[in-house]
């Protein structure tokens, strides 16, 4: 799209290509074959004979994210899955859209209180259409797909200002624009930890022989002698830290003096 | 006008123009066949299939193609870029090249080679190269497995494919496809699929295996290795692979029709349409392709070892035996040969 | 038994045990052979949800298979501890989302065990009726999934056509397509609408008429289906019992354990049905067990409709459910096997501890036992044999 | 191939199980309640009791292992069923902040994942377990044992707050 973006404002070329490409994109929305939980069954029902999603050209469920256009987040996203979901989202080629299907994908739904449940898919990836329900009926998902089609129809390559989140006064004037939400963090490594809960001491990491590296970070029961050694190591480390900080404090006082 | 027609007689220009026409046909064929596939699957599945885009959903392939045109073309970070991007081209060119020797009608063939069958055999076997390139270039365990499966399968099934051609070659005494069609005559019982029935079946089955369709779609194996060698392709490169697959499927159907089902010949003499005999060719090719799709939506997939068993333990011995039977009959009754 | 003659005909076609395909590590080292590690899932078309398999492959032969779970861990047990007894029922719906009725039933049985509440007989019959409809709505798609994973796309659509019809019955009775919240502590939420028994009867009759055509004739004698499933995932009775397998996956080895008969609950003792077993213990046998169980379910539904008494549908539990201190157990036969619930009460109106024994979780231990030695594409039919559900094994 | 399931009348079988377990081990409590053999054993005896149940009495199936956090002590319930109507419920109590108990994976291989689950959710360590990893949670992201009563989630929904 580099050629088109050299224009500063919409003209005949950009608007007509917009029309063509938006028409093509909205009529050929291939969802990623990505079933998360209960809603996946209703998503499957949508693709099946009774509610035939293929009528709208959206019936080709691509198994590989490289060939998909829209990701239907169908179900509860756990923190363990959130990283995988973000990676799948990043593996999809542009342009791409996301439909959050069901209460869990919108806000966490009935599992909102859970310790391992992400409170909505939009905490990690940008969501275009929300389809409420638990689970939504197939008709609701079809309505969601059609809503997404309407959204795609409005898309422009040049001269389109994305609506920013804003604080609006009572008379409708915009008071202040809010910064856009940044979707970083999860895909780079760790899911956000729960705060305010005291970590327990009874977990240890150890390497298990004969397992591939991916499985080695899991926890296992540790024999007492190893446990003892680990404790000693931790104690030594703590002592070293204390010493270092003591040194640091000492140097600081020297500088001040 | 006359000069233009005269120009068409000049050899290099005629070749170029007719090749352009064939290329146009091949590229459109992929789009038409995806639509046909979705409609046929719809009827088998008791559903409608695409029916919102254009009249009865007929513009669906256009939407798909334009969408794929504007899709981002991702190549994995660790991929071998030249091999990765060259693979779809290496798959598409052989599929399109074989169309050069397919006789659509008595005078409508791009190049009436006297070694057309050898050309067909040589060019189709290049297709395996593209699969291996795609699998190797993607640097993914799934695509590597897919490529290994693809290479093993296509090379194995090349053998029965070629052996099953030989009966026809022996009967005709020529390697030219035009000669083959003309030798079959214009009545349905003189076509080669009757005297060469085992060869016809072998060619049909190994043809399906050659174009990697269900039940032989192990290199793709959507539910096992998630698309196999094409797992990492997106946008236009993926579309090119799909186009190559559909083009090779069409070309295998066309060659089946040419070799065993009388090419452009009408089934009965009074149905001869004269210059419009290519209609017969089209109808027969479409029927064969329909059976491919019918099988596609009806049966499960084989496993690798079973696939090899079928190829080497059933199809190859069958063709070899029938080859000897044909040769013996031709020795006994010399009138059989051309 | 269905197709027994064909089995005899094919005997000896594939007698090589899968373990003989494995090369021992010493030989691998000696010839410098390398294995590749492969991750299958959590997003994979054939993983029945979010399962990740860490595989070690020698060519196409699986050397080691290590299932990793937890991608759909939804804290069901913790949330149940923080909710009142009746409010846990809608959460159990979301456990094994192909067997919602059975989950509710098991939980309600456990709480009723604590409460000693009288359940009206009509409610019991309605519970059994709904559970058996649910079993149909689970077994038929599971056959479709098995075929889908083998590469045949069409049976899943026929299966979902039936599921859609059963779901419309559920919708008429309970008001929801999937998450019913219908079975309550002490009975069921509401009586059947007046025209529903006739509708169920008509549907069951029509299903019986075309069941053979759509799900048996289309699949059973297909040569490729037989070669892909026969002697795949073969296990002995000891192995299956040792690994804690229950349900169709256990019954296909020949152990006739069925909670409905052996640990009778509800009105199952009053109904006539058979426990379906098969001797082979492979994927094809499990397919045949599922098919025959569907026919048994149809018979049970018919008996329920014929014998159903009139009367109340909800026993008196009081407005506020507050069981005395103690423990309650409930055990039902879900489509995947033995589903058990253990509820511990401390006298307050929230359970002190709820533990679900989900059959998907326990049956999945089979994977690491029987997959090594099979080819990579055999994992898919083996998943079809176990037929786990993501919400079940991850809770 | 063929597996023999226990036979005979339910009541005699229950009595046989009770007797068999009672004779061999010093049990703290043992009784038959509502068709269930209920047994309370000391922490150290549990693997031996289960071994007797499987090897001598022939109870083939371990249904589940429940851990209950009694704040200070952990209560474990092993539910054994003989697939023919009889149930043996073995209970034990573990004291202390770092609970350890012997594994029963050698007796009932199916206990493997049940013990992993108990370890993940409660931190109960099973000594001698071949592969004691967490089943559900990640060490990298989560270093709590969530089903402990000391671990509280945000909302508790009861009538108490509403009235």
pLDDT tens for each residue of C268-281: 888 888 888 888 88
Cβ proximity of C139 and C98 under 8 Å:
no
Chain B residues close to C151, C-beta within 8 Å: 214-215, 217, 221-223, 299-301
Distance from CA of C43 to the nearest CA of A (A): 6
pLDDT at residue number A252? 45
CA B318, B319, B322, B324 dihedral sign is negative
Residue of higher predicted confidence among C45 and D88: D88
The answer to whether A67 faces chain B, any CB pair under 8 Å, is yes
pLDDT tens for each residue of C82-112: 888 888 899 898 888 888 999 999 999 999 8
**Per-range mean pLDDT, top range of B224-228, C181-185, D53-57:** C181-185
Mean pLDDT of C69-74: 86
Asked whether residue A138 carries a pLDDT value surpassing 80, the answer given is yes
Residue C28: inside a domain, yes or no? Answer: no
pLDDT at residue number C3? 42
pLDDT at residue number D1? 45
Cβ proximity of D146 and D136 under 8 Å:
no
Task: State which residues form the domain around C128.
Answer: 4-8+73-394
Q: Using CB atoms within 10 Å of the CB of residue B25, give its burial: 0 to 12 exposed, 13 to 18 middle, 19+ buried.
A: middle
Average pLDDT of every residue of chain A: 72
Which of B42, B60, B222 has the CB atom closest to A57's CB atom? B60
Tokens 């291996």: give the residue: B132
Average pLDDT of every residue of chain B: 84
Q: What is the DSSP string of B58-121?
A: TTHHHHHHHHHHTS-----TTS-HHHHHHHHHHHHHHHHHGGGG--SSSS--S---TTHHHHHH
| CA-based nearest residue in chain A for residue B221 | A63
CB pair distance less than 8 Å for A84 and C157: no
pLDDT tens for each residue of B69-113: 888 888 887 778 888 888 898 888 888 888 888 888 777 677 778
The CATH number linked to D64 is 3.30.460.80
Q: Is the pTM of this model over 0.90?
A: no
CB pair distance less than 8 Å for A59 and B74: no
Chain A window 74-133: which residues touch C at a Cβ cutoff of 8 Å? 75-76, 78, 80-81, 84, 88, 110-111, 113-117
Distance from CA of A42 to the nearest CA of B (A): 17
Distance from CA of C287 to the nearest CA of D (A): 21
Residue C280: inside a domain, yes or no? Answer: yes
pLDDT tens for each residue of C142-196: 999 988 888 888 888 899 989 999 999 999 998 888 888 899 888 888 888 888 8
Of the candidates D75, A196, B320, A139, the one whose C-alpha atom is nearest the C-alpha of residue C171 is A139
Distance from CA of A177 to the nearest CA of C (A): 36
Any idea which of B227-231, B268-272, C7-11 has the lowest mean pLDDT? Answer: C7-11
| CA-based nearest residue in chain C for residue A87 | C43
Tell me if there are at least 3 CB pairs under 8 Å linking chains D and B: no
| CA-based nearest residue in chain A for residue D147 | A115
Average pLDDT of every residue of chain C: 85
Please give the Cα distance from B110 to B96 (Å, whole number).
Answer: 12
**Which of A40, A72, A80, A101 would you mutate first to test chain C, the one with the most C CBs within 10 A?**
A80
CB pair distance less than 8 Å for C69 and D60: no
Mean pLDDT of C342-364: 89
| CA-based nearest residue in chain C for residue A111 | C74
pLDDT at residue number C140? 92
Cβ proximity of A22 and C159 under 8 Å:
no
When pLDDT is cut at 50, 70 and 90, the band that residue C139 belongs to is: very high
Residue C64: inside a domain, yes or no? Answer: no
CB pair distance less than 8 Å for A113 and C56: no
CB pair distance less than 8 Å for C151 and B145: no
Residue C282: inside a domain, yes or no? Answer: yes
When pLDDT is cut at 50, 70 and 90, the band that residue C10 belongs to is: very low
Please give the Cα distance from B24 to B54 (Å, whole number).
Answer: 22
| CA-based nearest residue in chain A for residue D142 | A193
Q: Which long-range contacts (CB under 8 A, 24 or more apart) does D32-39 make?
A: D35/D10, D35/D85, D35/D86, D35/D87, D36/D87, D36/D88, D36/D89, D37/D86, D37/D87, D37/D88, D37/D89, D38/D89, D38/D91, D39/D88, D39/D89, D39/D90, D39/D91
Structure tokens at C14: 């594939």
CB pair distance less than 8 Å for B227 and A23: no
Tell me the percentage of chain A whose pLDDT exceeds 70. Answer: 65
Residue D26: inside a domain, yes or no? Answer: yes
The answer to whether C14 faces chain A, any CB pair under 8 Å, is no
Asked whether residue B151 carries a pLDDT value surpassing 50, the answer given is yes
Please give the Cα distance from D120 to D139 (Å, whole number).
Answer: 10
Mean pLDDT of B21-49: 84
**Which of A3, A24, A92 would you mutate first to test chain B, the one with the most B CBs within 10 A?**
A24
Chain B window 53-72: which residues touch A at a Cβ cutoff of 8 Å? 53, 57, 59-60, 62-67, 69-72
pLDDT at residue number C24? 64
Chain D window 117-146: which residues touch A at a Cβ cutoff of 8 Å? 119, 123, 125-127, 129, 131-134, 136-146
When pLDDT is cut at 50, 70 and 90, the band that residue A162 belongs to is: low
CB pair distance less than 8 Å for C227 and B303: yes
The domains of chain B are located at: 75-332
Residue D72: inside a domain, yes or no? Answer: yes
Inter-CA distances, C110 with B300, C115, C265, C283, C313, Å: 43, 9, 11, 33, 18
The answer to whether B28 faces chain C, any CB pair under 8 Å, is no
The CATH number linked to C295 is 1.10.645.10
CB pair distance less than 8 Å for A93 and B73: yes
Residue of higher predicted confidence among B3 and B133: B133
CB pair distance less than 8 Å for C263 and D135: no
E strands, chain A, where? 70-74, 97-101, 129-131, 166-168, 174-177
Q: Using CB atoms within 10 Å of the CB of residue A244, give its burial: 0 to 12 exposed, 13 to 18 middle, 19+ buried.
A: exposed
Residue C323: inside a domain, yes or no? Answer: yes
Which of A24, A54, A59 has the CB atom closest to B67's CB atom? A24
Collapsed DSSP state (helix, strand, coil) of residue A242:
helix
pLDDT at residue number C342? 92
Chain B window 262-301: which residues touch C at a Cβ cutoff of 8 Å? 297-301
pLDDT at residue number B218? 84
Asked whether residue C18 carries a pLDDT value surpassing 60, the answer given is no
pLDDT at residue number B49? 83
pLDDT tens for each residue of A24-63: 888 888 998 888 888 888 988 898 888 888 888 887 888 8
Collapsed DSSP state (helix, strand, coil) of residue C198:
helix
Distance from CA of C364 to the nearest CA of B (A): 19
Distance from CA of B31 to the nearest CA of A (A): 13
| CA-based nearest residue in chain C for residue A83 | C71
Tell me the percentage of chain A whose pLDDT exceeds 90. Answer: 1
Asked whether residue D18 carries a pLDDT value surpassing 80, the answer given is yes
Task: State which residues form the domain around D46.
Answer: 10-156
Which of B217, B224, B302 has the CB atom closest to C224's CB atom? B302
pLDDT at residue number A159? 63
Chain C residues close to D88, C-beta within 8 Å: none
Number of structural domains chain D divides into: 1
When pLDDT is cut at 50, 70 and 90, the band that residue A175 belongs to is: low
**Per-range mean pLDDT, top range of A79-83, C286-290, C313-317:** C286-290
Which of A25, A52, A69 has the CB atom closest to B47's CB atom? A52
Distance from CA of B193 to the nearest CA of C (A): 25
Asked whether residue A251 carries a pLDDT value surpassing 80, the answer given is no
**Per-range mean pLDDT, top range of B49-58, B221-230, C252-261:** C252-261
pLDDT at residue number C21? 60
Chain B residues close to C157, C-beta within 8 Å: 45-47
The answer to whether A180 faces chain D, any CB pair under 8 Å, is no
Residue of higher predicted confidence among A229 and C77: C77
CB pair distance less than 8 Å for B301 and C150: yes
Cβ proximity of C274 and C297 under 8 Å:
no
Residue C54: inside a domain, yes or no? Answer: no
Asked whether residue A207 carries a pLDDT value surpassing 50, the answer given is no
pLDDT at residue number A5? 64
Residue A177's CB is within 10 A of a number of other CB atoms, namely 10
| CA-based nearest residue in chain A for residue D156 | A113
Residue of higher predicted confidence among B204 and A215: B204
Structure tokens at D41: 């054993």
CB pair distance less than 8 Å for A116 and C75: yes
The answer to whether C79 faces chain A, any CB pair under 8 Å, is yes
**Which of C13, C14, C151 would you mutate first to test chain B, the one with the most B CBs within 10 A?**
C151
List beta partners, residue A176. Answer: A167
Number of structural domains chain C divides into: 1
The answer to whether C238 faces chain D, any CB pair under 8 Å, is yes
Structure tokens at C18: 């899968």
Distance from CA of A70 to the nearest CA of C (A): 15
Return the partners of chain A (3 or more C-beta pairs < 8 Å). B, C, D
**Which of C73, C96, C134, C167 would you mutate first to test chain A, the one with the most A CBs within 10 A?**
C73
pLDDT at residue number A12? 79
Which of D2, D137, D156 has the CB atom closest to C70's CB atom? D137
């Amino acid at each position: 799209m580099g050629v088109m973006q050299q224009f500063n404002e919409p003209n005949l070329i950009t608007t007509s290509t917009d029309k063509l490409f938006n028409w093509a994109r909205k009529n050929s929305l291939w969802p990623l074959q990505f079933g998360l939980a209960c809603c996946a069954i209703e998503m499957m029902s949508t693709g099946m004979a009774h509610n035939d999603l293929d009528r709208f050209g959206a019936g080709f469920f691509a198994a590989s994210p490289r060939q998909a256009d829209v990701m239907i987040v169908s179900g509860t996203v756990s923190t363990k899955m959130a990283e995988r979901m973000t990676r799948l989202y990043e593996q999809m080629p542009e342009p791409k859209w996301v439909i959050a299907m069901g209460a869990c994908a919108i806000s966490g739904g009935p599992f909102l209180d859970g310790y391992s449940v992400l409170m909505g898919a939009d905490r990690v990836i940008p969501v275009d259409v929300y389809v409420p329900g638990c689970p939504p009926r197939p008709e609701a998902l079809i309505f969601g797909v059609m809503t997404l089609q309407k959204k795609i129809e409005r898309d422009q390559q040049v001269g389109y200002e994305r609506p920013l989140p804003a604080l609006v006064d009572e008379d409708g004037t915009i008071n202040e624009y809010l910064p856009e939400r940044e979707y970083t963090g999860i895909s780079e490594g760790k899911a956000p930890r729960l705060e305010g809960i005291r970590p327990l001491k009874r977990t240890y990491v150890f390497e298990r022989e004969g397992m591939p590296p991916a499985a080695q970070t899991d926890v296992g029961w540790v024999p007492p002698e190893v446990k003892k050694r680990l404790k000693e190591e931790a104690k030594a480390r703590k002592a070293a830290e204390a010493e270092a900080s003591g040194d640091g404090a000492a140097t600081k006082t020297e500088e001040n003096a | 006008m006359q000069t233009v027609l005269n120009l068409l007689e000049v050899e290099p220009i005629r070749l170029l123009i007719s090749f352009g026409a064939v290329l146009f046909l091949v590229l459109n064929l992929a789009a038409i066949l995806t639509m046909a596939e979705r409609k046929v699957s719809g009827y088998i599945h008791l559903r409608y299939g695409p029916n919102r885009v254009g009249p009865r959903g007929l513009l669906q392939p256009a939407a798909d193609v334009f969408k794929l045109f504007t899709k981002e073309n991702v190549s994995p970070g660790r991929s071998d870029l030249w091999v990765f991007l060259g693979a779809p081209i290496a798959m598409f060119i052989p599929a399109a090249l074989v169309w050069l020797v397919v006789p659509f009608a008595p005078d409508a063939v791009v190049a009436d080679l006297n070694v057309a069958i050898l050309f067909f055999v040589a060019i189709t076997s290049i297709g395996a190269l593209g699969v291996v390139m795609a699998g190797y270039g993607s640097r993914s365990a799934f695509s590597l497995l897919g490529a290994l499966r693809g290479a093993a399968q296509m090379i194995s099934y090349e053998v029965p494919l070629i052996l099953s051609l030989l009966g026809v070659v022996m009967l005709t005494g020529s390697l030219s496809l035009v000669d083959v069609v003309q030798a079959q005559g214009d009545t349905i019982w003189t076509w080669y699929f009757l005297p060469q029935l085992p060869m016809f079946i072998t060619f049909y089955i190994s043809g399906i295996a050659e174009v990697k369709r269900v039940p032989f779609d192990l290199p793709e194996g959507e539910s096992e290795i998630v698309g196999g060698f094409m797992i990492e392709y997106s946008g236009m490169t993926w579309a090119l692979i799909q186009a190559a697959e559909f083009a090779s499927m069409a070309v295998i159907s066309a060659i089946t029709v040419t070799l065993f089902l009388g090419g452009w010949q009408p089934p009965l003499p009074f149905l001869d349409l004269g210059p419009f005999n290519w209609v017969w060719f089209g109808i027969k090719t479409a029927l064969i392709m329909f059976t491919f799709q019918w099988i596609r939506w009806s049966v499960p997939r084989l496993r690798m070892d079973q696939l090899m068993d079928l190829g080497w333990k059933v199809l190859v011995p069958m063709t070899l035996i029938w080859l000897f039977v044909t040769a013996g009959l031709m020795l006994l009754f010399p009138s059989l040969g051309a | 038994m269905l197709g027994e003659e064909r089995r005899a005909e094919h005997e000896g076609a594939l007698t090589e045990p899968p373990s003989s395909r494995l090369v021992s590590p010493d030989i691998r080292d000696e010839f410098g052979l390398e294995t590749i590690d492969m991750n299958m899932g959590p997003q994979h078309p054939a993983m029945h949800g979010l399962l990740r398999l860490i595989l070690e492959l020698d060519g196409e032969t699986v050397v080691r298979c290590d299932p990793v779970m937890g991608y759909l861990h939804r804290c069901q047990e913790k949330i149940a501890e923080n909710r009142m007894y009746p409010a846990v029922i809608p959460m159990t719906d979301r456990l094994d989302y192909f067997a919602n009725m059975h989950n509710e039933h098991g939980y309600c049985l456990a709480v009723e065990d604590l409460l000693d509440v009288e359940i009206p007989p009509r409610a019991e019959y309605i519970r059994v009726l709904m559970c058996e409809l649910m079993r149909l709505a689970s077994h038929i798609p599971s056959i479709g999934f098995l075929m889908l994973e083998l590469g045949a796309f069409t049976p899943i659509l026929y299966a979902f056509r039936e599921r859609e019809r059963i779901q419309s019955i559920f919708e008429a009775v309970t008001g929801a397509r999937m998450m019913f919240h219908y079975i309550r502590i002490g009975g069921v939420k509401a009586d059947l609408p007046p025209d529903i028994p006739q509708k169920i009867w008509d549907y069951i009759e029509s299903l019986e008429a075309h069941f053979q055509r759509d799900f048996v004739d289309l699949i059973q004698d297909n040569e490729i289906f037989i070669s892909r499933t026969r002697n795949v995932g073969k296990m002995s009775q000891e192995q299956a019992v040792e690994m804690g397998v229950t349900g169709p996956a256990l019954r296909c080895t020949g152990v006739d354990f069925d909670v409905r008969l052996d640990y009778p609950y509800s009105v199952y003792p009053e109904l006539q049905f058979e426990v379906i077993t098969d001797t082979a213990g492979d994927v094809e046998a499990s397919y045949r067990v599922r098919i025959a169980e569907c026919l048994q379910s149809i018979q049970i539904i018919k008996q329920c409709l014929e014998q159903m008494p009139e009367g109340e549908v909800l026993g008196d539990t009081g407005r506020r459910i507050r069981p005395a201190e103690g423990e309650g157990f409930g055990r039902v036969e879900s489509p995947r096997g033995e589903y058990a619930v253990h509820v511990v009460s401390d006298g307050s109106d929230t359970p002190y501890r709820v533990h679900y024994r989900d059959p998907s979780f326990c049956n999945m231990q089979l994977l690491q036992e029987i997959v090594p030695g099979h080819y990579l594409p055999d994992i898919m039919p083996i998943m079809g044999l176990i037929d786990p559900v993501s919400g079940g094994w991850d809770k | 191939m063929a597996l023999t399931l226990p036979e005979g009348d339910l009541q005699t079988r229950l009595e046989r199980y009770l007797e068999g377990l009672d004779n061999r081990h010093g049990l703290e409590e043992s009784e038959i309640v509502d068709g269930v053999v209920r047994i309370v054993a000391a922490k150290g005896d549990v693997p031996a009791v289960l071994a007797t149940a499987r090897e001598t009495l022939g109870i083939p199936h371990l249904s589940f292992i429940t851990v209950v956090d009694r704040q200070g002590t952990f209560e474990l319930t092993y539910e054994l069923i003989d697939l023919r109507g009889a149930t043996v419920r073995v209970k034990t109590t573990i004291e202390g902040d770092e609970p350890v108990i012997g594994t029963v994976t050698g007796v009932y291989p199916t206990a493997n994942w049940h013990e992993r689950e108990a370890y993940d959710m409660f931190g109960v360590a099973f000594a001698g377990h071949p592969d004691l990893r967490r089943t559900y949670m990640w060490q990298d992201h989560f270093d709590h044992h969530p089903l402990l009563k000391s671990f509280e989630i945000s909302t508790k929904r009861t009538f108490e707050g509403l009235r």
